[in-house]
């Protein structure tokens, strides 16, 4: 048997770049070695030019040509779409290839693949980040310490560092490529910088992903942006090669927004920004309630509850400021927090940031950069009332767009959740209380995916329950044991009634008249035994202003206007009333 051995490597003076040559191998006969078993030197493995770590998308169909933006693929006849991610293929061999010999087979070797900066590389398309998936080892979020350069805020507060590589985002190439394709599909055409702004990722990372899509012929350059140079100003559009791939992408989900954050990173951030263990003092609370007239017993009741971060139960007659007190309580928590636009749970996107609930904090000049997938906000206050149902307390899945909306308590993380008008919901108070017992006890909430899988999420929320019904008809001992703080919001006395009237006159621009308020009390409260309520000065004053404008007068506290306001405001609807009488003044 004739054996052949590769010729020796060239000397150091020869060129080492063999990527562009086509060389016919030279066979050299050698004498078999003395070893009992001959060894064959295997042929060098040719390298295949790829765009990323894995083959993110299938190759383009042969013979297709580039064109304008493809139309929306037709919906299949079968309404059941796949909800699980495509199984990840075995990771490619990442061992460095052996040194190229001087004589190579007659093939063209592709140039070395381009890699992003940094050593972190993902080995497959599996990007699931469920808490119940122990195999997920996403990158731990870096936080800035006070001694580090660019540190922000006191102590070790959470500060999401800007990712420098795709690995630091916790996402892989496949997912980001699909986000780029969906952004271009829904917009038609976009500049590179606009795609990066849509995904809230650094332009350098998005440019590398777009370049990979261009090499696969899924994206083409339509022209320059007209200002500046570089990839970020180029205008991109989809080609006709992407039609079949885009249909698969849209069948999985139609989420078109900022890149999500892995679930474990969000859970760690919630723990870092916890609402528990504050140090709120009476002096610090004094000016956080605006124009509310707060008695000392209110401060003494809510202060310790806020320091604990545990639940509080407000009860008392209606119209005395229970909801307004809760709105002032959230202002007592110092600092701001970071809330992600969306998170990734088991390959499903869950939107968390809500512009209607979360108040964005503007960055101060000179603030260090951070990951823009997170939004810097005030601690949220989420208020739900009689419209609350049990379904609204779980993940809301939309089969049309195939992604989730986070429930109220998840959006209220690191803030305050107020269940107002407790007992007036469509669901029974007993069922609603049973839903809250486990989160209040263990700080863990159980949610359910539409696939049936149970998921544990952190419950870091200062929960407040408010009712104007009789508490004995609503709650039991098991619930009261888990709600450690209970506070009755009492009616105002006559002096406080005057104070509230004076504050409201100042806010409405109406001259305050103490004698007119005394007339109101003597004529319409004492004779009929009508109790005071904290909301009445505001409501009566608004009716006085409306009546004055109707009569073409300047709004003032006069007896005539107050009498007119009382007639329209205090009305009692009696069940047993004489025929022909619809209502009587209270």
> Which one-letter DSSP state was computed for residue 486?
E
**Length of the chain as a residue count:** 586
Region 436-448 average pLDDT: 90
Give the rounded percent of residues in the chain with a pLDDT score beyond 70.
Answer: 69
CA-CA distance, 22 to 20, in Å (whole number)?
7
Show Cβ contacts of residue 521 under 8 Å, excluding neighbours closer than 6 positions. Answer: 494, 497
CA-CA distance, 57 to 28, in Å (whole number)?
43
Instruction: Describe the crossing of helices 322-329 and 296-308 by its angle, rounded to 10 degrees.
Output: 50
CA-CA distance, 341 to 478, in Å (whole number)?
36
CA-CA distance, 204 to 52, in Å (whole number)?
15
- Exposure of 573 in the CB half-sphere (CA atoms within 13 A): 2
**pLDDT tens profile 194-230:** 999 999 999 999 999 999 999 999 999 986 554 445 6
pLDDT score of 91:
44
Given a cut of 90, whether residue 25 has pLDDT beyond it is: no
The residue ranking higher by pLDDT, 190 or 437, is 190
pLDDT category at 276 given cuts 50, 70, 90 is confident
Predicted TM-score of the model (pTM) = 0.69
CA-CA distance, 500 to 512, in Å (whole number)?
11
Q: Residues 175, 224: contact at Cβ < 8 Å? A: no
Classify burial at 580, counting beta carbons within 10 Å of its beta carbon; exposed 0-12, middle 13-18, buried 19 or more: exposed
pLDDT category at 460 given cuts 50, 70, 90 is very high
Q: Classify 524 in phi/psi space as left (phi over 0), alpha (psi -120 to 50) or beta.
A: alpha
Show Cβ contacts of residue 441 under 8 Å, excluding neighbours closer than 6 positions. Answer: 482
3-state secondary structure of 418: strand
pLDDT score of 203:
93
Sheet holding 312-315, edge to edge: 381-384, 416-419, 462-467, 312-315, 485-488
pLDDT score of 274:
92
pLDDT score of 407:
95
Residue 573's CB is within 10 A of a number of other CB atoms, namely 9
Residue 151's CB is within 10 A of a number of other CB atoms, namely 16
**pLDDT tens profile 474-518:** 877 777 788 889 999 999 999 999 999 999 999 999 999 999 999
Classify burial at 185, counting beta carbons within 10 Å of its beta carbon; exposed 0-12, middle 13-18, buried 19 or more: buried
CA-CA distance, 100 to 266, in Å (whole number)?
46
For the chain, give the mean pLDDT.
Answer: 77
pLDDT category at 123 given cuts 50, 70, 90 is very low
Residue 208's CB is within 10 A of a number of other CB atoms, namely 20
pLDDT category at 102 given cuts 50, 70, 90 is very low
pLDDT category at 295 given cuts 50, 70, 90 is confident
**pLDDT tens profile 367-400:** 899 999 999 999 999 999 888 889 999 999 999 9
Residue 299's CB is within 10 A of a number of other CB atoms, namely 13
CA-CA distance, 66 to 73, in Å (whole number)?
17
Given a cut of 50, whether residue 109 has pLDDT beyond it is: no
Region 558-586 average pLDDT: 70
* Domains, the chain, with CATH or none: 166-255 (1.10.10.10), 265-488 (3.40.50.300), 494-569 (1.10.8)
- Exposure of 262 in the CB half-sphere (CA atoms within 13 A): 25
CA distances from 224 to 185, 193, 203 (A): 19, 12, 16
CA-CA distance, 376 to 368, in Å (whole number)?
13
Using alpha carbons, select from 169, 257, 239 the residue that is nearest to residue 205. Answer: 169
Question: Which of 8-22, 258-272, 337-351, 451-465 is predicted with the least confidence, judged by mean pLDDT?
Answer: 8-22
pLDDT score of 290:
77
3-state secondary structure of 457: strand
- As a whole number of angstroms, the longest Cα–Cα distance in the chain is 125
Q: Residues 58, 241: contact at Cβ < 8 Å? A: no
Q: Residues 410, 393: contact at Cβ < 8 Å? A: no
Region 15-24 average pLDDT: 42
Q: Residues 257, 444: contact at Cβ < 8 Å? A: no
CA distances from 470 to 81, 320, 517 (A): 49, 15, 31
Kind plus residue range of the DSSP H or E element containing 565: helix 559-569
pLDDT score of 95:
45
C-alpha angle 440-446-449 in degrees, rounded to nearest 5:
155
Given a cut of 60, whether residue 92 has pLDDT beyond it is: no
Our CA dihedral for 75, 77, 81, 87, rounded to 10 degrees, sits at: -100
């Amino acid at each position: 048997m004739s054996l052949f051995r590769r010729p020796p490597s060239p000397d150091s003076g020869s060129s080492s770049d063999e990527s562009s040559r086509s060389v016919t191998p030279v066979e050299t006969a050698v004498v078999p070695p003395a070893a009992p078993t001959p060894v064959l030197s295997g042929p060098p493995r040719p390298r295949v030019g790829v765009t990323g770590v894995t083959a993110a998308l299938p190759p383009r169909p042969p013979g297709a040509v580039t064109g304008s933006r493809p139309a929306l693929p037709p919906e299949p006849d079968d309404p059941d779409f796949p909800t699980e991610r495509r199984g990840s293929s075995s990771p490619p061999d990442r061992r460095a290839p052996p040194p190229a010999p001087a004589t190579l087979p007659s093939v063209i070797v592709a140039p070395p693949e381009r890699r992003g900066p940094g050593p972190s590389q993902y080995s497959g398309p599996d990007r699931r980040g469920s808490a119940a998936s122990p195999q997920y080892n996403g990158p731990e979020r870096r936080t800035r310490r006070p001694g580090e350069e660019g540190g922000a805020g006191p102590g070790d507060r959470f500060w999401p560092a800007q990712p420098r590589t795709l690995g630091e985002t916790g996402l892989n190439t496949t997912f980001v490529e699909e986000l780029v394709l969906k952004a271009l599909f829904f917009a038609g055409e976009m500049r590179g910088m606009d795609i990066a702004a849509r995904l809230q990722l650094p332009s350098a990372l998005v440019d590398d992903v777009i370049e990979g899509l261009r090499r696969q012929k899924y994206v083409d350059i339509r022209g320059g942006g007209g200002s500046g140079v570089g990839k970020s100003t180029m205008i991109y559009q989809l080609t006709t090669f992407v039609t079949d791939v885009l249909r698969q992408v849209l069948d999985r989900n139609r989420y078109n927004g900022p890149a999500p954050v892995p679930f474990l990173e969000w859970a760690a951030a919630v723990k870092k920004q916890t609402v528990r263990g504050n140090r709120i003092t009476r002096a610090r609370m004094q000016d956080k309630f605006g124009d509310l007239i707060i008695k000392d017993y209110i401060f003494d009741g809510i202060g310790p509850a806020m320091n604990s971060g545990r639940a509080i139960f407000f009860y008392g007659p209606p119209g005395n400021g229970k909801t307004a007190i809760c709105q002032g309580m959230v202002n007592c928590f110092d600092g701001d927090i970071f809330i992600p636009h969306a998170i990734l749970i088991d390959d499903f996107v869950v939107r968390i940031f809500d512009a209607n609930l979360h108040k964005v904090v503007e960055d101060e000049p000179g603030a260090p950069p951070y990951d823009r997938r997170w939004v810097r906000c005030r601690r949220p206050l989420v208020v739900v009332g009689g419209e609350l149902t049990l379904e609204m307390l779980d993940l809301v899945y939309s089969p049309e767009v195939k992604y989730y909306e986070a429930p109220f308590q998840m959006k209220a993380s690191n803030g305050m959740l107020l269940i107002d008008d407790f007992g007036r919901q469509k669901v029974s108070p007993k069922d609603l209380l049973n839903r809250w017992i486990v989160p209040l006890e263990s700080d863990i909430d159980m949610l359910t995916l539409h696939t049936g899988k149970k998921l544990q999420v952190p419950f870091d929320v200062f929960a407040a329950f408010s009712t104007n019904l009789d508490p004995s008809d609503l709650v039991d001992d098991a619930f009261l044991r888990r709600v450690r703080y209970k506070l009755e919001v009492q009616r105002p006395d006559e002096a406080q009634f005057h104070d509230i009237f004076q504050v409201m006159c100042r806010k409405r621009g109406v001259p305050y008249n103490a004698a007119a308020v005394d007339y109101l009390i003597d004529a319409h409260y004492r004779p009929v035994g009508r109790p005071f309520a904290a909301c009445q000065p505001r409501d009566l004053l608004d009716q006085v202003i409306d009546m004055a404008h109707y009569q073409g007068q300047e709004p003032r506290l006069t007896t005539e206007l107050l009498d007119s306001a009382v007639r329209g405001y205090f009305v009692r609807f009696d069940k047993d009333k004489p025929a022909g009488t619809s209502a009587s003044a209270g």
